[in-house]
Amino acid sequence: INATATSSLSFFPTTGLVPGVVFLDAYVFVGTPEGRIYNCNVGNPIIWDPIDFITAEAESDNSVGIVKHLNYILDYGQWSTEFFYDAGNQIASPLAVAQAYRIEVGCANGDSIVQFEQTIAWIGRSKTVGTAVYIMDGVSPVKVSNPYIERILGNSTLADVKAYAFKFNGHMFYVMTLHDL
């Protein structure tokens, strides 16, 4: 009898999330395969509004992962990568597209994306170069794999990839496992 009920309606995109959860400027961001990057309310990761998102639209490819790099959120598509920055928008997403930094190297599998120190490593995919391992140097992708590694990548479906990075004796190592080889 004298009970009080309180309800809190919150939207969170629970199906089809791509790898990566990003915290930037008091917001938490998640991505979907359709290229939408959703954010929580500022400073409150339990409240999500269904209109608080921005869409990666530079290419018609699906998103495979998101990651934070420098002061940007990167949306990795299958064939392209878009950069977003906090523009302080008050309605919908606080993000805006950083047009000058879009690159034409995507990602073969979102689970291959590893952020460490001031760079990112991933298995990239390009329509002109093919599949290779890349690192992000500032805002530019740099291919770091050799033909032997690229041949191994070419023999894999890249459907089940696990990756991590570690530092040993001052050297950074990117380690990936291809579960179908």
The tokens for 159 are 């459907």
Rounded percentage of the chain residues whose pLDDT exceeds 90? 76
pLDDT higher than 50, residue 159: yes
pLDDT digits (tens, 9 = 90+) for 63-97: 999 999 999 999 999 999 999 999 998 889 999 99
What angle (nearest 5°) sits at the alpha carbon of residue 43, between those of residues 116 and 81? 40
Q: How many CB atoms lie within 10 A of CB 102?
A: 16
Query: What's the pLDDT score for residue 7?
Result: 44
* Global pTM value: 0.89
- Residue of 55, 54, 57, 45 lying closest to 12 (CA atoms): 45
pLDDT higher than 70, residue 46: yes
Reported confidence tier of residue 4, pLDDT bands at 50, 70, 90: low
pLDDT digits (tens, 9 = 90+) for 105-134: 999 999 999 999 889 999 999 988 899 999
Return the C-alpha torsion angle 133, 155, 113, 61, nearest 10: 100
Query: What's the pLDDT score for residue 121?
Result: 97
Kindly state the average pLDDT of the residues 159-177: 95
The tokens for 167 are 């530092």
Query: What's the pLDDT score for residue 134?
Result: 97
pLDDT higher than 80, residue 6: no
The tokens for 12 are 């969170």
